[in-house]
Structure 1
Amino acid sequence: MIIVVDAFSSPEFDDHAQATVPVADAAGDAIATAARRYGVPVIAASLRNRTAAAQWVLAQQVSQGDRVRAAIVAAGSDAASPRFSVEDLLAAGAVIDALAELGIDYAAPEAAAACAAFTGLKRAVGHLLTASVAGKALAASGRREHVVAAGKLDSSTNVPVLGDEGYERA
């Protein structure tokens, strides 16, 4: 399975099961579209739903009766001109940390580094999102509340799963 991690653009669902993407993001969309071609489950995760996403992965593992492999892909910035994105690194680390808390280990050094970055900076994640390049740009465009909300750990229990018509509630 593939977990597309995007701190600011992960699809969210309201109480009426409507999918909304708060910030358009070509990078996350491009990754999800490419991942879907492999025929494996694709879910969207962020700081907001990291534990719910990890629980969904564990449920898949239990239902299969075997270990599952999950590729965690930090979306980064713009697909046309990719750049490192600290907010997505921290969000990917948060998802990896949540998986580890449930007993799903990681083997890749990149996963270990992202997890260590998140756990070491966990108390400052909200501030780091508002201070990041993308966070400042969103705030300057009038989206500061969105940036602050994106930094709220485990504030959502929804897990968007990519289907034929886009993301759907798991």
Structure 2
Amino acid sequence: MTSPYAQDGFRAGFDWGPVGAEVVGGAIGTIVAVVDVLSFTTAVTVAADLGIEVYPYRWRDETAVAYAKQYDAALAVGRSEAGPGEVSLSPVTIRQAHGIERLVLPSPNGSTIAQQLSDSGATVLAVSLRNRQAAADWVNQRLAEDPELKVVAIAAGERWKDGSLRPAVEDLWGAGGFLSALDTDSRSPEARAAAAAYDAVAEELPRLLHDCAGGRELTQYGFSQDVTIAAEVDASRSVPVLRDGKLIPST
């Protein structure tokens, strides 16, 4: 019996977090768009624009050091730990980086989900507000070529202090912006709701991104520039696709 949570019968679906990625992405998603606007997938698009390959990795995993050495890659540190010239999850530090070709970029949400999906058989994309149209264009071409192909957008969300999922409106907007740009009317109710959420605020971005809880949090901690970069709607044509454990721009 098909799971009622799988959003079966639709070409485009939507859900939240690692569990949603497993349940809906595994069932419906030949293509899975991971969305973590503040800031993993935004950081990935900034890196892709610069030709940097990004290796997703689990958050606070001590094996990340050895993993980075294995691929001769730089290892991103925590935002608050980054010193001058060091790269972190902050897109600003990636944009300012020099001489980096490969980057291991752990994060508690988007990066963890992307790595979780790496062995699922799905085609995994990193999608943010910066590349939501470019990613949709890339997917639209494949949807047109294969009438059986399906796609699901996974909003990564954030975490409350008890570890539970905190739905983050910026990820809803990012996923909805991507879904809204797809050339299909076959969206699940969940996907339709996400697309409607983006359409309702599209004319008010980037202001609302600064005003939402996630934007205010980063601003409070001194990272308002990260929010500004995340709000560069459609500024990137990069479509990072997960291949052999790394996110690289696809053509």
Same fold (TM over 0.5): yes
Structure 1 moving runs of 4+ over 6 Å: none
Find 2:211's aligned residue among 131, 138, 145.
Answer: 131
Deviation at 1:111, TM superposition (A): 0.8
Equivalent position SS for 1:168: strand
- Determine the structure 2 residue equivalent to 1:116: 196
Q: Among residues 90, 104, 112, which one is paired with 1:22 in the alignment?
A: 90
**Structure-1 residue corresponding to 2:168:** 85
Q: Does 1:42 align with 2:107?
A: no
Give the Å deviation of 1:55: 1.2
Query: Offset of 1:34 from its aligned partner?
Result: 2.0
Q: How does 1:1-170 map to 2 (within 5 A)?
A: 1-8=31-38, 9-10=40-41, 11-12=44-45, 13-19=47-53, 21-22=89-90, 25-62=107-144, 64-78=145-159, 80-99=163-182, 103-170=183-250
The Cα shift of 1:16 comes to 4.1
Choose 1 or 2 for highest CA Rg: 2
CA RMSD across the alignment: 2.0
- Offset at 1:66? 2.9
> Are the equivalent residues in 2 in contact too, given 1:106–1:112 (CA < 8 A)?
no
Task: Give the 3-state SS of the residue equivalent to 2:221 in structure 1.
Answer: helix
Gap change, CA 1:30 and 1:14, over 3 Å in 2: closer
Question: What residue identity is the alignment partner of 2:171?
Answer: D
Alignment check: 8 A CA contact 1:94 1:118 kept: yes
Give the C-alpha shift of residue 84 in structure 1: 1.0
Note the residue ranges of structure 2 that are not aligned, 5 or more in a row: 1-30, 55-88, 92-105
Give the TM-score normalised by the residue count of structure 1.
0.87
Q: Is the 8 A contact 2:130 2:232 kept in 1?
A: yes
Summarize deviations over 1:14-48 as a string: whole Å, max 9, x none. 55411465366311122212222211110010111
Task: Name the CA shift for 1:141/1:54 in 2 (closer, same or farther; >3 Å).
Answer: same
C-alpha distance in 2 between matches for 1:106 and 1:89: 19
Specify whether residues 168 and 14 from structure 1 end up closer, same or farther in structure 2 by C-alpha distance, changes over 3 A only: closer
Structure 1 vs Structure 2: percent identity of aligned residues? 33
Measured in 1, the distance between the counterparts of 2:221 and 2:142 equals: 39
Aligned 8 A contact 1:25 1:78 in 2: no
Checking the alignment, whether the CA contact within 8 Å between 1:96 and 1:106 is kept in structure 2 is no
**How much does 1:165 deviate?**
3.1
Q: CA deviation at 1:141?
A: 2.2
More helix by share: 1
Report the Cα distance in structure 1 between the residues aligned to 2:216 and 2:165, rounded to whole angstroms. Answer: 18
| Secondary structure of 2:154's aligned partner | strand
How many matched pairs? 166
Q: Distance in 2 between matches of 1:136 and 1:104?
A: 34
